[in-house]
Amino acid sequence: MHKLLSKRPSLRALTLPGLAFLLAMFFGALLIAFSDSTVLKHIGHPLAFLKAAGVAVWQSYLALFEGSVYNPSLATPHDALLSWYPLSETLVTAAPLMLAGLSVALAFRAGLFNIGAQGQFIFGSIAASYVGFHFHLPLGVHLIAAVLAAVVAGALWGGLVGLLKARTGAHEVIVTIMLNYVALYFLMWLLGTTRFLRPGRRDPISPDVLTSARMPLLAGSNYRVNLGIFVALAAATFVWWLLTRSTWGFRFRAVGANSAAAKTAGISVPFVMTSVMAISGALAGLGGAVHVLGSDFSLTSGTAGNFGFDAITVALLGRAKPMGVVFASILFGALRAGGGTMQANTSTPIDIVLVIQALVVLFIAAPSVVKWVFRLKNVKTTGELAAKGWNG
Amino acid sequence: MNSLSAAERRRRRSLYIMAVLAVLSTLVFGLLQKRGQVVTYGFVLDKEWVLIQQWVINSRTAALLFGLIAIAASTVAFLQFRAGKTIGIASAFGAAGIMMSFLSWAAAGKFIPFTGLLQGALLLSVPLIFGSMAGVLSERSGVVNIAIEGQLLAGAFVSGVVASLTHSTFWGLVVAPFAGCLISTLLAIFAINFAIDQIILGFVLNVLVYGLTDFLYKKLLIPYQATWNSGPTLAAIKIPVLWKIPLIGPILFDQSIIVYLMYGVVFLISFSLFKTKWGLRTRAVGEHPTAADSVGIKVNRLRFMNVMIAGMVAGLGGAYFTVGGVGAFNKEMTAGKGFIALAALIFGRWTPWGAVSAALLFGFADNLQSVLGIIGTPIPSEFMLMVPYLVTVVAVTGFVGRVRAPAADGTPYKRGESH
């Protein structure tokens, strides 16, 4: 545990995630090459095959970059800055992902695996959008009310898990997996009720959130980037402060490190479990709010997309640390944003992003693989992903 | 009554709940039902021997009748509990009575193909049963298997593609277990050899399989559908004589080969786990690996083997989605069935027959929801869909009895470390 607690901000800490990412991109490249029909035509001629494979991979990854960071062809004579438009899209995707990732990371640090960020995200977006489209409130107040509603909804849905674990010992993984489905079906039912149905529509979509409840745009109406990213960064700072500077955070980490010892030391483990899961849920709910009030504006059955599940990969890549989550969510946000462009412009589907995400996390979790591939020695690896199982 | 153990108190509490539900359903579905309409239960699906063609009854009378049966069963169960006897059969009658009372109320004025309802329930529980058997094999030997979903999906994908390429359901069936096994081998390597958290690992493997199959689906299966994704499907095989038995014949003995394989898998696993040397060793390794090691059992080798077999079982279950069902693979077509299988495993308390019963119950709830959705009922279908998940949450919170995982489930074994 002393390894986890000691702070050594060095570049070495980035070696493993960096190499894991490279390795995952390499496997992604193989997948692109070996599933491309024009590449496979040259299978009998090694040189031509390599060339075609290189072209296919280069085009896909270039599109990925152009869809997430910088695309010169978007610039207009009046506005050269527009070529950075993709970066705005990356930040739009990264903001809810960061919040949901922080939710998972915080729970990890207290020894809880929150698979339920998806359900908490759903409840957050339901609450935020309901307050956003149903009530008419003054500018500013409206946004704050909608955000607070989402935080409370997420906290309740998450806190329930902590309470059940504390009172009955029900494993949070099982409960959260099940509650994710309950949340999804609840959302689907809600969208069929007259209260949530958009007037004049019969398909399940809610009315748009009123302008007064939307996140203010940061860079003018040409870009979708909004206050959400700052909300997420503020939350990351809060989680960092909570974990490293507050008594509460110390208790959380103590329970995460060894709950029996924490109990002996006089820490109320049930209280910690419930409050961690409530804060965790609040963060994921806030993610739902940022998504609905910042970029999506309406509620559909697919509102939560994959955010809650991507959040787990984000938290794992970020090694359950707030700073790590910030970088990991921007990276995965970029992959998501760029993946759309890649799918539109090349024959490579966006789903390769999922493969890359899974592989990155797998390599992070099993550093021995990365070490073996790159013949590394003395790379910092911590045991924070040690196995526990149902009875842990 | 202070001498009752915690487990007995829980059982008594669940008996009280059943009694209250029985009385409530008699009142709400029976006595308070506004106007009685005729409900028709159909019992004949095909050309089996006819015992009874259909049963037409006033919905109010039926709901009342079944409610009273439930009350009587609850009473019997309670008396048996007081006398210290087992209460399984009486409880089953009670639950069935409550269910039928509800159904008679919900289907007032409608036709319910009863045999079809049960047949559909069995079909919907097939992947759940395969999945939960994979869970039993893996978790009883001490490796948490969250990756059931991924193993099912891999089996579905590979068997669909191979059946399409070879135009043969046989090859589709043969390769499916290997696809599942591939995923579970990854699980075994990382969980046993690298000692990584198995819950995280299972989660990541699911993401990996989702990603790979989504990717290949868009890249190959959609553009080249004719060659890659138009596989044949298995025909139903009627077992001579047996399929003619009224009611249960068409349900159990007029199915495709996968369903018959499933019967085999279930019987084999439930028998071997408790009656063979392998089963004893497997349970020992899952409960107390140190003790198992001390008598010469190779803990990690046995775990590795069992996890691989688990993957094969789940992979075969995956084939049910493609060659056993619609033929063509569809993106993410397992749709969370692997997680319901996990729920069934837990609800069934990690025992083969418990898991099968839970899977059948979840399959029934699922099919009931779709049948009621078609004929139109007062209950929103989304709430019916929540049932398996809510039931599982209730189960793990210990409301209906103690749910305990094998003691060493999820804990990697390393010789010389005390556990």
d(CA B135, CA B143): 9
- The more confident residue out of A6 and B378 is B378
pLDDT per position as a tens digit, A291-322 = 999 999 999 998 888 899 899 999 988 888 99
Residue A73 lies in a domain: no
d(CA A133, CA B132): 43
Beta strand pairing call for B38-42 and B111-113: parallel
DSSP string covering A212-248 = GGSPPBSS-TT---BTHHHHHHHHHHHHHHHHHHSHH
pTM to 2 decimals? 0.89
In angstroms, the separation between the Cα of residue A23 and the nearest Cα of chain B is: 15
- Contact criterion met (CB < 8 Å) for B342 and A352: no
pLDDT at site A386: 52
Domain borders along chain B are: 6-114, 124-396
E strands present in chain A: none
- Contact criterion met (CB < 8 Å) for B211 and A188: no
- Contact criterion met (CB < 8 Å) for A387 and B390: no
Among residues 339-368 of chain B, which lie with CB inside 8 Å of chain A? 339, 342-343, 346
pLDDT at site B418: 53
pLDDT at site A307: 92
- Contact criterion met (CB < 8 Å) for B393 and A179: yes
Give the confidence band of B81 by pLDDT, cuts at 50, 70, 90. Answer: confident
**Given B196, B211, B409, which is nearest A390 (Cβ)?**
B409
- Contact criterion met (CB < 8 Å) for A192 and B382: yes
**Given A192, A359, A366, which is nearest B194 (Cβ)?**
A366
**Given A309, A349, A357, which is nearest B218 (Cβ)?**
A349
Architecture of domain B124-396: Orthogonal Bundle (1.10)
Among residues 256-315 of chain B, which lie with CB inside 8 Å of chain A? none
- Contact criterion met (CB < 8 Å) for B190 and A313: no
pLDDT at site A3: 45
pLDDT per position as a tens digit, A17-43 = 888 899 999 999 999 998 888 888 888
pLDDT at site A390: 65
Neighbour tally for A351: CB within 10 Å: 21
- Rg, chain A, Cα only: 22
Sign of CA dihedral B73, B75, B78, B82: negative
Q: Please answer whether residues B149 and B336 qualify as being in contact, where contact means their C-beta atoms are separated by less than 8 angstroms.
A: yes
Neighbour tally for A386: CB within 10 Å: 11
| Nearby residues of B1 by Cβ (< 8 Å), 6 or more positions away | none
d(CA A121, CA A292): 10
Boundaries of domain holding A101: 83-337
**Given A174, A358, A390, which is nearest B204 (Cβ)?**
A358
pLDDT at residue A340 greater than cutoff 50? yes
pLDDT per position as a tens digit, B212-256 = 999 999 988 988 888 888 888 888 888 888 888 877 888 888 888
Count of domains forming chain A:
2
pLDDT at site A387: 53
What's the start-to-end Cα distance of chain B, in Å? Answer: 37
- Contact criterion met (CB < 8 Å) for A177 and B342: yes
Are both A321 and A300 inside the same structural domain? yes
For A93, counting Cβ atoms within 10 Å of its Cβ (0-12 exposed, 13-18 middle, 19+ buried), the class is: buried
**What's A6's DSSP letter?**
S
Please give the interface size between A and B, counted as residue pairs whose CB atoms are below 8 Å apart: 158
- Rg, chain B, Cα only: 23
Residue A307 lies in a domain: yes
Q: Nearest residue of A to residue B397 by CA position? A: A170
3-state secondary structure of A386: strand
B386 inside 8 A of chain A by CB: yes
Q: Which residues of B touch A113 (CB under 8 A)?
A: 199-200
For B165-180, what is the mean pLDDT?
A: 94
Residue A6 lies in a domain: no
Mutant choice from B219, B339, B366, B419 vs A, greatest count of A C-beta within 10 A: B219
B36 inside 8 A of chain A by CB: no
Instruction: State chain B's mean pLDDT as an integer.
Output: 86
| Nearby residues of B135 by Cβ (< 8 Å), 6 or more positions away | B145, B148, B310, B341, B342, B345, B350, B355
Neighbour tally for B32: CB within 10 Å: 11
- Contact criterion met (CB < 8 Å) for B219 and A347: yes
Give me the residue label for tokens 């550093």. A367
d(CA A191, CA A204): 5
Are both A170 and A306 inside the same structural domain? yes
In angstroms, the separation between the Cα of residue A40 and the nearest Cα of chain B is: 12
Mutant choice from B144, B197, B394 vs A, greatest count of A C-beta within 10 A: B197
Q: Please answer whether residues B218 and A351 qualify as being in contact, where contact means their C-beta atoms are separated by less than 8 angstroms.
A: yes
- The more confident residue out of A25 and B365 is A25
pLDDT at site A143: 96
Q: Nearest residue of A to residue B195 by CA position? A: A387
Are both A268 and A369 inside the same structural domain? no
- Contact criterion met (CB < 8 Å) for A35 and B216: yes
Are both A115 and A93 inside the same structural domain? yes
Residue A145 lies in a domain: yes
Are both A98 and A56 inside the same structural domain? no
Are both A189 and A266 inside the same structural domain? yes
In our burial notation (b when 16+ CB lie closer than 10 A, e otherwise), range A97-121 reads: bbbbbbbbbbbbbbbbbbbbbbbbb
B410 inside 8 A of chain A by CB: yes
With pLDDT > 70 as the criterion, what percentage of chain A qualifies?
93
Residue A162 lies in a domain: yes
- Residue B325 CA to its chain's centroid (Å): 17
Joined together, the tokens standing for residue B203 give 């989660």
With pLDDT > 90 as the criterion, what percentage of chain A qualifies?
61
Q: Nearest residue of B to residue A173 by CA position? A: B199
φ, ψ at B147 (rounded to 5°): -85, 15
φ, ψ at A174 (rounded to 5°): -65, -45
Neighbour tally for A348: CB within 10 Å: 26
Q: Please answer whether residues A283 and A159 qualify as being in contact, where contact means their C-beta atoms are separated by less than 8 angstroms.
A: no
In angstroms, the separation between the Cα of residue B120 and the nearest Cα of chain A is: 22
Closest CA to A223 of A74, A61, A23: A74
Mutant choice from B300, B362, B386, B402 vs A, greatest count of A C-beta within 10 A: B386
pLDDT at residue A385 greater than cutoff 70? no
Q: Nearest residue of A to residue B336 by CA position? A: A181
Are both A130 and A59 inside the same structural domain? no
Closest CA to A125 of A228, A233, A261, A262: A228
In angstroms, the separation between the Cα of residue B216 and the nearest Cα of chain A is: 8
Are both A244 and A287 inside the same structural domain? yes
d(CA B232, CA B188): 33
For B102-109, what is the mean pLDDT?
A: 82
The domain that holds A132 is classified in CATH as 1.10.3470
pLDDT per position as a tens digit, B368-405 = 888 887 777 777 888 888 887 887 788 777 655 456 78
pLDDT per position as a tens digit, A195-237 = 888 888 888 899 999 999 999 999 888 899 999 999 999 999 9
B192 inside 8 A of chain A by CB: no
pLDDT at site A174: 85
d(CA A172, CA A122): 18
B409 inside 8 A of chain A by CB: yes
Are both A88 and A228 inside the same structural domain? yes
pLDDT at residue B159 greater than cutoff 90? yes
Q: Which of A50-59, A123-132, A256-265, B389-398 has the lowest mean pLDDT?
A: B389-398
pLDDT at site A388: 63
Considering only the C-alpha atoms of chain B, give the largest distance between any 2 of them, rounded to a whole number of Å.
72
- Contact criterion met (CB < 8 Å) for B195 and A387: yes
Q: Please answer whether residues B314 and B130 qualify as being in contact, where contact means their C-beta atoms are separated by less than 8 angstroms.
A: yes
pLDDT per position as a tens digit, A107-149 = 999 989 899 999 999 999 999 999 999 999 999 899 999 999 9
For B181-202, what is the mean pLDDT?
A: 90
> At what angle are helices B381-396 and A172-192 packed, to 10 degrees?
160
Closest CA to A165 of A155, A156, A154, A176: A176
- Contact criterion met (CB < 8 Å) for B203 and A182: no
**Given A115, A174, A392, which is nearest B392 (Cβ)?**
A174
- Contact criterion met (CB < 8 Å) for A385 and B196: yes
In angstroms, the separation between the Cα of residue A188 and the nearest Cα of chain B is: 7
Among residues 145-164 of chain B, which lie with CB inside 8 Å of chain A? 146
Neighbour tally for B410: CB within 10 Å: 23
Secondary structure of chain B in the HEC alphabet?
Answer: CCCCCHHHHHHHHHHHHHHHHHHHHHHHHHHCCCCCCEEEEECCCCCCCCCCCEEEEEHHHHHHHHHHHHHHHHHHHHHHHHCCCCCHHHHHHHHHHHHHHHHHHHCCCCEEEHHHHHHHHHHHHHHHHHHHHHHHHHHHCCCCCCCHHHHHHHHHHHHHHHHHHHCCHHHHHHHHHHHHHHHHHHHHHHHHHCCECHHHHHHHHHHHHHHHHHHHHHHHHCCCHHHHCCCCCCCCEECCCHHHCCCHHHHHCEECHHHHHHHHHHHHHHHHHHHCHHHHHHHHHHHCHHHHHHCCCCHHHHHHHHHHHHHHHHHHHHHCCHHHHHCCCCCCCCCCHHHHHHHHHHHCCCCHHHHHHHHHHHHHHHHHHHHHHHHCCCCCHHHHHHHHHHHHHHHHCCCCCCCCCCCCCCCCCCCCCCC
d(CA A213, CA A136): 9
pLDDT at residue A328 greater than cutoff 90? yes
pLDDT at site B51: 73
pLDDT at residue B410 greater than cutoff 80? yes
φ, ψ at A140 (rounded to 5°): 90, -60
Residue A24 lies in a domain: yes
pLDDT at site A11: 60
3-state secondary structure of A205: strand
Q: Nearest residue of B to residue A24 by CA position? A: B208
Are both A326 and A362 inside the same structural domain? no
Q: Which of A181-190, A272-281, B101-110, B284-293 has the lowest mean pLDDT?
A: B101-110
For B281-291, what is the mean pLDDT?
A: 92
Q: How many residues does chain B have?
A: 419
- Contact criterion met (CB < 8 Å) for A368 and B407: no
**Given A35, A366, A387, which is nearest B220 (Cβ)?**
A35
d(CA A210, CA A304): 20
- Contact criterion met (CB < 8 Å) for B200 and A313: no
Residue A387 lies in a domain: no
Q: Which residues of B touch A186 (CB under 8 A)?
A: 382, 386
